Each structure stands twice: as structure tokens, then as C-alpha cells.
Amino acid sequence: MSVLIRFVLAALVVLGFWLTSGPALAAEWRDVTDDRLLNAGSDGANWLMYNRTYSGWRFSPLEQINTGNVKKLVPKWIFAGGTLGDQQTTPIVNDGIMFTTSTALGVNRVQAINAATGELLWKRDRRIPEDVGALVRLIPHNRGVALSKDKVIFGTLDAYLVALEAKTGKPVWETKIADYAEGYFVSQAPMVVKGKVIVGISGPGEMGPRGFVEAFDAETGKSLWRWYSIPAAGEPGSETWTADTWKIGGGAVWHAGTYDPATNLLYFGTGNPAPWIADMRRGDNLYTMSAVALDLDSGKLKWYHQYLANEPWDFDTVSEHHVIDVVRDGQTHKAVVQANKLGYVYTLDRATGKFLSAVPFIKSLTWGKPDPVTGKGVENPGLRPTMGGPPVEVCPSLLGGTGWQPKVFNPKTGYMYIPANEFCMRYAYVADLSYKQGQLFTGVTVEHFSRAEQAGVLRAFDVNQNKVVWEWSNRTPLISHTLSTAGDLVFQGTAEGKVVAVNAKDGQELWSFSLGTPQSGGIITYAVDGKQYIAVAAGGTLRSQVWFGKEPKWAEAARVNYSDIVVVFGLSE
């Protein structure tokens, strides 16, 4: 056989591996049943869903890595996925097999990796049409997968829901959720509950069409119910929209929900109305900017709480609602707790939606405050921009007192750890905005700035005492992920490309590592063969380029794009 033929055959083998699948799974697959998902909190070795548990806490009971030995953390392996989108995935781990997603223009990618060695087991690319909406072209991203029995399920940039075989990556089913030509896409990691795949839609807040949450059968992909975040004409709440503005009113539901088995309710936060010019959609604009509780079986709205009516600044309130039993003045309240862009920690009764409290967690806060009785936002005068008028300076920035990055709750300390931001914006409406399908429907100009030297602040918030108890500061805004563990540790990523570990009780920094690329995805922990690992998803700086590019002191967080990577740490031997 000639050297040339041998070379060609070898190249074909490599190409086939790259386009289809890799080696067989390292361990025997164990189905992810409804019972395993329900009891995920006690399964420390695994990270079976986006927020690890239905409660949304992102807390792990693992404590092999702790305050006494965290300085011994060293990299064990690095996996590079090879795409250049905005990497926001949270790795999912089942019995030593890790699943990640990555994106770029034209592709949604899912990968299965040996969680102990970093070896690629298989990968699957799904090609995406080139004419997707403007927001997808600006910042392509995906936050991860869901597991159901023997399937891996994810959403796509062209608004499909797709199921793959967990063992091989082969397609099982795919369902069209919406028309991507209207600006719809899926960025959130789906959630599987009682055989239903629950997913919210992205795009409406910037592109115009109505947002929604939808449930699908996990075995077949068949739609079971859909709830729209904006009511149609004649439905309850439709009177809060003028004329036909509800048809292009936004209200995306682009972040993960939570679930309470006791009430059988799903909790979601809804996004801002569209366009961002509030004068074009007078009224309260229900059910945007709200906490909503949906019945899992039917999708019917059980209660809602609107945080801010007729919102004018893109302060969408989509953050997860943590399911927490809160003790106040000796009395236990079954609550949901949300820290959101508005800069407040809100506590609501999770059965009724009754407002319990709202407390600020940032200092750069000028937009207004919640009414102490109703919890509805009350704006400070003079900060609402006018059509074609001069920019207003308002705090926080539209990236929020805290943004999409998940907050975490540690039941040992009773603290919620909030990656917070102390920065503001100059914000102005532009004139003559018209709706064009598939194009951005915002109508504003915005520039971010900070008067604080340390714009990012990780804060520990005691949910029972309703106050901040410590903070750890960072120069650039914290648009990265957080993790809390039973080892009394909190891990935090930064846009500069660091991951740090601080003491969960007092915020003292104990360890740090430079990743060489901005940390942008999830931080999780899991165990294989009795050894605990910390996994950090990173790479991709499109958000930093878009939002930080004009601020010189944040320049290093707006560098050129890097491939998505997962860096896994363990204790040195």
C-alpha cells in the first residue's frame, strides 16, 4: 500500500470520527428516571439537570474538596469543543459521563465526554440555517441539555427541540417549537419533570413576537400544552395592552424555571416587553416582568406577581426563583426567592404569590424601588427616557444588578450567593421605530459605565435575616457563574478569565486559577470513583465585546473570541 493511500485512509478515519461519533461510553448507562430527578439533591456524585435540583439551588452536598484542602486543586483535564459562539453551557453529569453544548453561527453541538479523563465519547452537530434572526447572529448561545431516561434533549438556534440517544448521540426525535423567521430560538436548558420536557422561548424581548413556555412529551416530542406570557385579545390581562401591541409585545421566557413537587407548580420569570420604547405599548403589559406559577399538568397560570409595569429599561426579570423555606421572626414561610436585574431580592409565597418582602443587594440603584406593601415597582421621577430625547443615566445597567447568571443557595449557611454588579448606563430611545419580522425590535442606544473601581461584587445574602452579610469584589462586572458546596466553598468565575474559591461563611478568597479565557458557562461539581471534581465551562467573549467594548478599564474582558473549553479540577495526589 502506498504512503499516499495509507494517508488518505487515515484521514478518512479521522474525518469520520469528527463528523459522527467517538469511542463507546466508558461506563454502563443508567437511565435518568423521574425518581432520580426528583431525588437529585441527595445524589452528590451526579449533576443531572441545569440547576442540579428542581429547587434551583446549585448546591452540592460533596465536601471532599473543602476549605482545608482547596489550595491543592489542580487541573486534571481540558476539553476544547471547537466552536466560537458565546459559551454558556452548564455541563451535565450522569455516572461519569458528561454532556455539554456549544454553539456558533450555523451549528448547535452536543458532546458526550468521559468525566474522569476528558476523552470525547461522541458528538453531534445540528446545522442551523444562515437566515436565523438578528439576535442569534449577534450572540449565538446555548445553556445545556436535559436528561430523560436514555435520552439527551436540547433546544436549537432555529427553535427546535431535539432528543438524542445518550449512548450514541443518534437522533431520536425532533419537534419544531416555533418559526425562527419570527426571531424565535431556544437558549435555555430544558427541564424534565414527570416525563414532560419544559422549555421557555428566547427572542421575543428583542425581536417582538409573544413569549411562551411549552411542555412536550419526553418520549415522543409531542406538544402537551403552551402558556403565552402575553394574553391574546379578550383573555385576562389583555386590557393592559393598547390596541394590537400584544401581538409584538415580547415577554421572552429565556431562563430556566424551577419546580415544587408539593404544589406541582413550575416557577418562571418573564422578560421585558417589546419594543423597549415604553411609549409604544402603554399599559401595565401583563405578564411581562413577572414571576409566574404554572400548573405542571395543564400549563394554566395559578398566580403571578408583576415586578415592574410598563418597563422601559430592559430590566427583564427572568432569573430563577429558588424554592426555599424562609424563616422570618420565628415563622416559616414556604417561599420562592428571586434576585433579579432590578437589584432587589424578592420573596413571594410560593403557593399564592403573595408578596412578602424586597431588599436591595446593590448600591448603584437609582431606577426606583418596590412598594413595601404590594411589591410593585415604583419609579423615581425623571429617569424614564423620552422618544428622541437625550440619554438618561440610570442604575443598574440593563445587564442588571445581577443578570442571567444563576444565583446559588446553600442550606448549611442559609445564604444566597449573588454575582452582583455595580454599574450604570446612559440610555436613550430613538425615533421612528417600526416592527420588521426577524429584525431587532428594541429602539434604543445604550452605553455602560461604572463609577466604582470594583464593578463586580459577589454578595452573600442571608435569606432569613434579609440582608447582605459579606462580599467579595472584582474589577469587571460578574456575568459568570457561581457554585456552592457542602465543603464550605463558593466558586465564582470572572470575565477576566479567572475562577476563584472563597469561604462560604465569610467570603475570604482561598484559591484562584487563570483559565486563559473568560469564564462564561456553568461551574459544577461531581464525583467519579469516589473522587470529587470541579468542572468549569469557559470560552467565548461575544457578550463582553458587545457590552464592555467602550469601557477602557474593562478592555481585557472584551478580547477576541476563544473556543469553548471545559476545565476540570481535582485534588493533587
Catalytic residues: 314
Give every CB contact of residue 239 below 8 A, 6+ residues apart in sequence. Answer: 283
Per-residue DSSP letter, 41:
G
Q: Give the contacts of 534 (CB within 8 A, at least 6 positions apart).
A: 65, 73, 483, 491, 523, 524, 525, 568, 569, 570
Cβ pair 169, 21 in contact under 8 A? yes
In order of 124, 323, 520, 544, the CA distances from 561 in angstroms are 22, 36, 12, 10
Distance in angstroms (rounded) separating the CA atoms of residues 321 and 144? 19
Secondary structure of 101-167 as H, E, C letters: EEEECCEEEEEEEECCCCCEEEEEEEECCCCCCHHHHHCCCCCCCEEEECEEEEECCCCEEEEEECC
Element (H, E) at 379: strand 377-379
DSSP state of 407: P
Q: Cα dihedral angle (197, 201, 202, 207), rounded to 10 degrees?
A: 160
Q: What are phi and psi of 246, to 5 degrees?
A: -65, -25
Cis omega (within 30 of 0) for bond into 287 = yes
Q: Which amino acid is at 427?
A: Y
- Strand pairing partners for 448? 425
CA-wise closest residue to 502 among 70, 135, 186: 70
CB atoms within 10 A of CB 11: 10
